[in-house]
Structure 1
Amino acid sequence: MFTSLLKYSLPLGILAGLTTLPAFHRGTDRAPARTALADTLNRPEENRFTKTVLSNDLNEPMELAVAPDGRVFFVERGGKFYLYDPVQKKTRLLHDFPVKAVDKYLNGLLGMTIDPDFSQNHFLYFFYTIQEGEQTLQRIGRFRVNDDSSLDVASEKSIIEFPIDLEVSAHTGGSMAWDAHRNLFISTGDNTVPFESNGHAPIDARSGRLTFDAQRSSGNPNDLRGKILRINVKTDGSYTIPEGNLFPKGTPGTRPEIYVMGCRNPYRISVDPATSILYWGEIGPDAGTDGQQGPRGYDEFNQAKKAGNYGWPYFVGDNKAYHQYDFATKAVGALYDPMAPVNNSPNNTGAKTLPPAQKAMIWYPYNASAEFPKLGVGGRCAMGGPVYHYDPALKSTTKLPAYYDKALFVYDWMRNWVYAVRLDADQNYQYMEAFMPQTGDFRRPVDMEIGADGSIYMLEYGSVYGIDNEDARLVRIDFNGGNRAPVARASATDTIGLAPLTVAFSGGKSVDFDKDALRYSWRFEGNKVASTEANPTYTFRKNGIYRAILTVTDPAGKVSTDTVTVKVGNTTPQVAVSTPQNRTFFSPQATPFAYTVSVTDKEDKVIDKKNLKVVLNYIPKVRSEPMMGHQQLTSTYSLGKSLVAGSDCKACHQVAAKSVGPSFTEVAKRYRDDKTAIAKLANKVIIGGGGVWGEHAMSAHPQLSREEATEMIKYVLSLGTEPTENRLPQQGTLTLNQHVGKEQEGRYVLTASYTDKGALLPPKAPLALTKTDVLVLRPTKVLGSEADVLSNMTRQGKRLGNIHHQSYFVLKNIDLKGIDQLTYRYSSKDKGATIEVHIDSPTGPVVSTLAYKPTGDWRKYEEAGAPVRDPGGLHDLYVVFVKPEGPNRDLFSLEWLLFGKPTAVAEK
């Protein structure tokens, strides 16, 4: 959350953008043409794809290459070069390159590729950092692989080298790919400090600011950085320049190796083997909003059908232009011209007049994209993947289906998704669709290739940037077009109790996606099959902890297992929180609240009060969405914690351990005595910034509201304080006053838990059982969007709308004790109707009826109340809208429902 080093070193970048100033465009701003719709009818079922981990526990994996015989070669940034052997199903280290790879500079062994004629020449190519005297270089080195798969280190040929500024911990590129003509493409980053340009174009041309000026690299036709190079490698290790590169050989002030210029960090590239069209993901700048220097940041997926200038550092996205900017005086000049960009930087060693800028194929900010809304919001780190070509003659049972023929796969390191991009016959963008959105479980994909077998091979970097992740791994994704294995699903009732304990097991919910009949076998004690029924009953006659194993088998012999644990020798205690007052709502005013906790246990003759824990927590704010269940709103629940867990924060931060960013506990300790910390840090989360924890900045998160960022910071700062446990007595009266004077959007959570004295089961396995009961009190004002269930209506922000005859919403587990009126704040343009409140079903007993009148305009909200009857106990309330006669659609818009009279509402 607090750094965006990912964007600066490897591919990586973080979060969102919110436009506050006019957009800066060069050319027409239009959504790309969409001439086709996704073929959902023939799309393969997602359960036909299987993801298998081939090699686990890697350390910063970078790039992979799959040999024609199925061997998978891959590298780690620290210098290690591995082979995965598909025959032995083992990974072994082949070589440890002595690369220049330190955490501060984030160079190292960055990429690799396999020669198109590998079967004959056994050549591999590596992109890595070397130190020669005082100079740091990026080198493409070619090596030969021996027959035993070892690397012939002495065979190295240096293909091409170029110097970098090592003091810049930013933007390395490092990917390689081949076209159909044996031309090698090499991606290089702009090698520029991005932190002091407010997330906009780093074009600081002042003296002494060389590394802050991408005009010396990306915008310089005479420099190989910030480019995608194209060369033709000869057998002796030399190279020639193919026809069609951006600058013909001999053009003054240019390098002929350049195919694409104007790149920031083209971290992963790919070339369509059929068309030789180049694709890449471009890691964009960090600004969350448009500013005086120019547009907010965008990541890009780019396509180059021919050589071109893709604009950086003067343009971004679909040719949104930056302003000429004087970093000394802060004077803002004219917008750069995409048709005739000029590089007048004193750091430019090449030609000043540049080729016209080309627009991105796909571009997206931190916030939702108007042009490409499917890509979502959040951190950005675009990676360009392979183009798949279906081969009907390929004898492989795992190859991707014909459905994905000619699809371009793209992926995002931060957002953990993969999309299949569809192109038309002229290779122009049509649409995109998510690949394995439900079951992919992608762990920051950092490279992706399609093997000779037609399967996908992927390197997953792992959850946290810059450390040795436990979930960094090499995986393979196979397609199964034939019989699928069944899925065993075992469950049971009454799995805890005293011997003899009879348990009813259920395996009938097991599924077979091919609709095959399944055979069942159950093992309850040991390996002996005790039942072949789908739903057997079994009696355990001795105390112990047992694993009941269900195995299901389809007619083809494919199997699946599931397990249920049974504990015999103890029973669960019973815990209940009771109150003579309302069990659902708290009053807007400070009020006393009486409670009692009852505990019983069959085995514990005396309840040990030391094992009883009663705690009250106040959660100041929850989201305006359906009421969370008791299991979620426990004493450990925190909105801030939930928001942090759902964000990209863990990519750069851990709770206690250091990553590229400080740990949350470090942040909490630094700001422990700063009374302005919450507001200051919440603002920083939204707008981004740096300078506190070193050279790396935190990107903007403008997709977060001020309230959400505040709750996240409150949670982070709470981690620096040792928790104190304020246990309450088993019975007492509390004063509920923490909500007074605040927005009534919080919850009081009273939690009672008891752990019994336990039992000692053979073989000396202790079995202590805990039971918890939770009482959640909410405000009497319930926003429309907080309804638990909707039928024939929609949420519209905090309101409910599109309400018609027989539409209804549900509020679950409502206690009406002490409630004598329901008050609705609503609007209705021109149709009056009746609101009936039923209990437990849409046709259950009616406890309240309101005949409301229209307010005359959808924007005009009024309040109306109706008496309500308390049926006793907790019930689900079904609020049903009734208008059987006349026009009966679009009846009502509900802002909130108050359980009480209007005077009880603090504010509207």
Structure 2
Amino acid sequence: MFPLLNYLTLGGAVVSVLGLLGSESGKLSQPASKAGMAQVDTTKRPEENRFTKTVLSNDLNEPMELAVAPDGRVFFVERGGKFYMYDPAQKKTRLLYDFPVKAVEKYLNGLLGMTIDPNFSQNHYLYFFYTIQDKDQTRQRIARFVMNNDNTLDIASEKSIIEFPIDLEVSAHTGGSMAWDTHGNLFISTGDNTVPFESNGFAPIDERAGRLTFDAQRSAGNPNDLRGKILRIHVEADGSYTIPEGNLFPKGTPGTRPEIYVMGCRNPYRISVDPATSIVYWGEIGPDSGTDGPQGPRGYDEFNQAKKAGNYGWPYFVGDSKAYHQYDFASKNVGSLFDPAAPVNNSPNNTGAKQLPPTTKAMVWYPYNKSDEFPELGLGGRCAMGGPVYHYNAALQSKTKIPAYYDKALFMYDWMRNWVFAVRLDDQQNFQSMERFMPATGDFRRPVDMEIGPEGSFYMLEYGSVYGIDNDDARLVRIDFNPGNRTPVAKVAAIDTIGLAPLTVAFKNKSYDYDKTDKLRYQWRFEGNKVASTEANPTYTFRKNGIYNALLTVTDQSGKSSTDTLTIKVGNRMPQVTIATTDNSTFFFPDQTPLRYSVAVSDQEDKVIDRKKVNVALTYIPKLAGNDQPMGHQQISASYNLGKSLIAGSDCKACHQVAAKSVGPSFTEVAKKYQGDKTATAKLANKIIIGGGGVWGEHAMSAHPQLSREETTEMVKYIFSLANQPTDNRLPQQGSLVLKDHVGNEAQSRYILTASYTDKGSVGAPMPKLALTKNDVLVLRPAKVLGAEADSVYKMSKQGRRLGNAKHASYFVLKGIDLKDIDQLTYHYSSKDETATINVHTDSPTGPVISTLNYAPTGEWRNYSDASTPIQNPGGKHDLYFVFDKPGSPDKPLISLEWLQFKRKEMAASAVNKTSGK
């Protein structure tokens, strides 16, 4: 979104913004390590409805990292400094301490992480990663504290374990996660602490004088610096630390730090260690370029695995060790590629050894666009987070533990794309496959940390929808598995839910139980707490005006129950709104044909219709480029403003709000800045796609090559509309509209005429006043219909824009078609060597025939021809069934249909005149 920050800084974790969410359902990927490797048997995947997500603590403010104690207490921190404990016995969250950390909004540091000691039950040690400042020096500190038996933090017990300076003016890339291996070694992730915003989304290796913070070679690429690393140390009882064997640089190696286990990290924001193997996993938040360029490859996020100490390449390499070019930021000269087998750090800002270890490629890597190697990850914004490895314990007495199906699976997640994947590894711990976890019911809201509790349940911190503010949906949640009896699902419906007293309502029970053998009991409450009926489908009469919540409780034979409610409004009747036209009510045509319309409004209680409460509006929606799905009536009528709808379906709100400032400027600010600039719409629509910066400070906008120019144009139009409060642009209830917006861009576009009326409210009903709104929608589609826009098909298939694989008795359907003023159909088709007949039936495959075409072969499937035939108007709207008839060739493919066009008499006559030269 414009003017999107190209990075979202989560306590220093910089992530790219925007991108329409496009993750696919979790299909297994092909093996990446060994051909022919056995795949996970997905037929044994547990039913998703057996997983339950429970909110433990809500309305948090920038939650960062959590740790679960052996007794079930959950500790977690917020970036601003608050340290909390969720008490499972009391089911309450308590604030234990507010750290005086350096968490100024501009710098985005603060209380970034926490963990508990592996021997917490005996020593009560807690560890915190936070930012401090004294004597004008800012440092990152990892400190140990003692937790008292009364659930208070012993502040006096603080021992600083390790500290390292940071450049505070860099508002990005601070890492902050901690984890332990089986040997009691502590792993600490640190970001490269480098400004990423002036490198065009490529490697920040600016060696010019005065540009220290723009050179990641001084940190991530420097063996003598602790930033851009994963450190491994062993904390001793007195608070000092020792260096375990097997780190990347043996102690005493010139120009190196022995604490380094992994180097070459950009921002390893969340790490985890497999408790069985001590292998380290992390999500690496990558650079921003949406396309490859002269400086090197486009940006990739990564999920990494370190079986042993190693160099993972940044800032010289990204993804599967794709190399950047050496680049002179002063002259803009592009040099040779860096060598992944023998990288060299010759930066004048490097204080360590120049010869670096060879690089290790990522385990999984993915760009903004769909990944060729890992397509199941979808497309859009990126923010990789490394999660835990789950080990199923059959002996664990727990009713909620995650099932054996996920044994030894690594759980990884993405903050921007709101998904969690279970990654499968082979016996050598190499990547094997992945599948999405809880794709339908997870409702993950920017997962920022995920851990496994002692009972085998998952705990997750969700950051919430909007970056940098106190989100209502920032929360601590627990995910449990139910292997036994499931709670029934109560669901109630009724037709007549609005009317005057006495109002008799026939209730329809649509409840169900996943355990189909359970017998269900029903309790209905209509007015108050008294049970009024135990029938499955009762009828009840409401005798007084008012608003009632009819409540249904469904209970299974084990006693588990759930409830559902339905609002009944007594004291008013719904107004009636109808849009009528004397023109065709299904299609618009290539020319600028006027639409004559009238809106009728009536209300049984309102003697006089208030015309000010009648809203009539026309909206034009162009084709969404790249959208292979036809745009049906339900999809379109759900939103009347395309730009607003596109923004709502994207991640724009992560950094921008309509009027309030977030991490980026508000949309209103952007609109006012460009007010009066006639070139701004095209310029900014292009900028959303290609990225760029320099307008709103140091932050840049990430590239979004997955968006079409039509989509970004509509986004910008919507934003610009916010510069001023909209004026009253309602249309009259009757008139004529010239339809001209589609000229030159007709395919798959729509005009939507909407009308609504809000009545004066209830008659004699108690407060609140029962005002009701009714609306009607008229959707006009192009008269040229792509084959793939068929509402349904039978014994044929959609193939991109076309329909194909039709055989004898195959058909496709177009629903709700008005043929007023239409007398001809034209088909654009190919057929290699078959003649056949297309009969158009109304309302069923055997209904009356209103059109017949006997078409000839075109010689080759790639050769398309047009064939026209008359069509009769039966009056009104009908479902049209296009049935293919070739009784003598029941199995031969008959046709490839790209489009068909409904033509008016004058259109057909015009075509004849052009052909004859008149």
Q: TM-score, normalised by structure 1?
A: 0.95
1:690 Cα deviation after fit: 1.1
Which has the larger displacement, 497-506 or 609-618? 609-618
Alpha-carbon separation, structure 1, partners of 2:787 and 2:910: 18
Which residue matches 2:450?
448
Superposition RMSD in Å: 2.2
Aligned counterpart, 1:891: 894
Question: 1:636/1:482 Cα in 2 relative to 1: closer, same or farther (>3 Å)?
Answer: closer
> Would the aligned equivalents of 1:318 and 1:360 in 2 still touch at CA under 8 Å?
yes
Moved more, 590-599 or 652-661: 590-599
Q: Which amino acid aligns with 1:193?
A: V
Task: Name the counterpart of 2:15.
Answer: 13
Alpha-carbon distance, 1:630 to partner? 5.0
Q: 2:124 matched to which residue of 1?
A: 122
Per-residue CA deviations over 1:299-337 (Å, capped at 9, x if unaligned) read: 110111100000111111111111111111111111111
Residues 1:541 and 2:543 aligned together: yes
Cross-structure match for 2:26? none
Match of 1:24 in 2: none
Residue of 84, 89, 92 corresponding to 1:90: 92
Contact 2:619 2:640 in 1 (8 A): no
Alpha-carbon distance in 1 for matches of 2:678, 2:638: 26
Conserved 8 A contact 2:33-2:430: no
Q: Which moved more, 1:618-627 or 1:718-727?
A: 618-627
Corresponding residue number in structure 2 for 1:164: 166
Choose the corresponding residue for 2:419, options 417, 420, 423. 417
Cα distance change on mapping 1:588 and 1:459 into 2, 3 Å: same
Q: Check the 8 A contact 2:14/2:172 in 1, yes or no.
A: no
Note the 1:813-892 alignment, pairs <5 A: 813-886=816-889, 888-892=891-895
Identity across matched positions, percent: 75
Write the deviation string for residues 528-585 of structure 1: whole angstroms up to 9, x where unpaired.
2111111111122222221111110000000111111111222112221112221111
Q: Would the alpha carbon gap of residues 903 and 696 (structure 1) be closer, same or farther in structure 2, given more than 3 Å must change?
A: farther
Distance 1:134 1:728 in 2: 63
Q: Does residue 673 in structure 1 map to residue 661 in structure 2?
A: no
CA distance in 1, matches of 2:356, 2:18: 30
Question: Deviation per CA, 1:655-705, whole angstroms, max 9, x where unpaired?
Answer: 221111111111111111111111111111111111111111111101112
Q: Give 1:30-45 correspondences, 5 Å limit.
A: 31-33=32-34, 35-45=37-47
What is the CA deviation profile of residues 180-209 of structure 1, one whole-angstrom value per residue up to 9, with x for unaligned ones?
000000000001111111111111111111
Shift of 1:595: 2.2
Relative to structure 1, the CA distance from residue 902 to residue 403 in structure 2 (aligned partners, 3 Å threshold; closer, same or farther) is farther
Distance 1:845 1:12 in 2: 63
Give the stretch that moved more between structures: 262-271 or 751-760: 751-760
In 1, Cα distance between equivalents of 2:642 and 2:789: 15
2:308 maps to which residue?
306
**Paired AA for residue 596 in structure 1:** S
The one-letter code of the counterpart of 1:831 is E
Per the alignment, residue 284 of structure 2 pairs with 282
State the 1:235 CA deviation: 0.4
Contact 2:808–2:890, Cα closer than 8 Å, also in 1? no
The question of whether the paired residues in 1 share the 8 Å contact of 2:77 and 2:113 is answered with: yes
- Name the counterpart of 2:813: 810
Contact 2:577/2:755 (8 A) holds in 1: yes
Question: What SS does the aligned partner of 1:41 have?
Answer: helix
Instruction: Letter of the 2:351 partner, please give it.
Output: T
Q: Partners of 1:135 and 1:656 in 2: how far apart? A: 36
> 1:200·1:287 contact (CA, 8 Å) conserved in 2?
yes
Decide whether the 8 Å contact of 1:805 with 1:882 is kept in 2.
Answer: yes
Q: d(CA) in 2 for partners of 1:614 and 1:626?
A: 28
Deviation at 1:30, TM superposition (A): 11
Please state if 1:107 is matched with 2:109: yes
In the alignment, the residues of structure 2 paired with residue 479 and residue 127 of structure 1 have an alpha-carbon distance, to the nearest angstrom, of: 32
**Structure 1 residues 70, 412: CA separation in 2 closer, same or farther (over 3 Å shift)?**
same
2:793 matches 1:790: yes
Correspondence for 1:367:
369
Give the structure 1 partner of residue 384 of structure 2.
382
Partner residue in 2 for 1:202: 204
Mark the CA change 1:8 to 1:264 in structure 2 (over 3 Å): closer, same or farther: farther
- 1:657 pairs with one of 649, 655, 660: 660
Counterpart among 377, 380, 398 of residue 396 in structure 1: 398
- 1:218 maps to what in 2? 220
Q: Is the Cα–Cα contact under 8 Å of residues 183 and 232 in structure 1 kept in the other structure?
A: yes
Asked whether the 8 Å contact 1:310–1:357 carries over to 2, the reply is: yes
Contact between 2:630 and 2:788, CA under 8 Å: does it hold in 1? no
In the superposition, relative to structure 1, how do residues 795 and 661 fare at CA in structure 2: closer, same or farther (>3 Å)?
farther
Pair 1:741–1:340, CA change in 2 (3 A): closer
C-alpha change, 1:668 and 1:33, in structure 2 (3 Å) is: farther
CA distance in 2, matches of 1:205, 1:14: 25
Aligned residue in 1 for 2:336? 334
* 2:19–2:651 contact (8 Å) kept in structure 1: no
Give the counterpart letter for 1:349 in structure 2: T
Output the TM-score relative to the length of structure 2: 0.94
CA offsets per residue over residues 215-243 of structure 1, 9 Å max, x none?
Answer: 11111111100000000000000111001
Q: CA deviation at 1:882?
A: 3.0
Which residue in 2 is equivalent to 1:62? 64
Aligned to 1:133: 135
Cα offsets for 1:476-495 (capped at 9, x unmatched) = 00111111100001001111
The offset of 1:634, in angstroms, is: 4.6
The equivalent residue for 1:190 is 192
Look up the match of 1:457.
Answer: 459
CA 1:698–1:299 in 2, change beyond 3 Å: closer, same or farther?
same
Aligned-partner SS, 2:681 = helix
Compute the displacement of 1:636 (Å).
5.4
Equivalent in the alignment of 1:26: none
Q: Cα deviation per residue 1:330-359 (whole Å; 9 max; x = unaligned)? A: 111111111111111111111111111001
Letter in 1 for 2:248: L
- For structure 2, the residue ranges without an aligned partner over 5 or more in a row are 21-29
Query: CA distance change for structure 1 residues 792 and 99 in 2, over 3 Å: closer, same or farther?
Result: farther
The one-letter code of the counterpart of 1:823 is T
The aligned amino acid for 2:363 is M
In structure 1, give the amino acid aligned to 2:472.
E
Q: Which residue matches 1:768?
A: 771
Aligned to 1:23: none
Q: C-alpha separation between the residues in 2 aligned to 1:215 and 1:30?
A: 35
Distance 1:419 1:865 in 2: 51
